[in-house]
């Protein structure tokens, strides 16, 4: 087993819950999809696309809703994707 596969295998056995309880099942479904794609396709040179994009978008929306509901301050933070482009003069 390569070190990359060992990392993927370890990641599949240690599952963290999501910030929102309602999002945890979606997170696990996305994690399984991504880990399978990463190990079976990406690490073998097939980077043609991520089949888990729709799962990720649904999970992202769920997490964003949970953060708002829990009033977790996230002002100025960019998380879970490409929300905003960086200013040209940023370092």
> How large is the average pLDDT for residues 11-34?
82
Q: In this predicted structure, what is the pLDDT of residue 6?
A: 46
Residue with tokens 């993927």: 8
Q: What is the pLDDT of residue 80?
A: 55
> Tell me, what's the pLDDT at 78?
65
Euclidean distance between the first and the last CA atom of the chain, given in angstroms as a whole number:
38
For 21, the token pair is 């309880």
Q: What is the mean pLDDT of residues 76-81?
A: 61
Task: Give dist(CA 25, CA 38) in Å, integer.
Answer: 20
Closest CA to 43 of 19, 8, 81: 8
User: Who has greater pLDDT, 17 or 52?
Assistant: 52
Mean pLDDT, the chain, whole residue set: 76
Confidence of residue 5 (pLDDT cuts 50, 70, 90): very low
Q: What is the mean predicted confidence (pLDDT) over 51-75?
A: 88
């Amino acid at each position: 087993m390569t070190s990359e596969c060992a990392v993927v295998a370890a990641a599949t056995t240690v599952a963290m819950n999501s910030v929102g309880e309602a999002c945890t099942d979606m997170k696990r479904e996305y994690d399984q999809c991504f880990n399978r794609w990463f190990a079976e396709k990406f690490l073998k040179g097939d980077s043609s696309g991520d089949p888990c994009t729709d799962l990720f978008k649904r999970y992202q929306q769920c997490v964003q809703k949970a953060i708002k509901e829990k009033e977790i301050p996230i002002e100025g933070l960019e998380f879970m994707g490409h929300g905003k482009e960086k200013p040209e003069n940023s370092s």
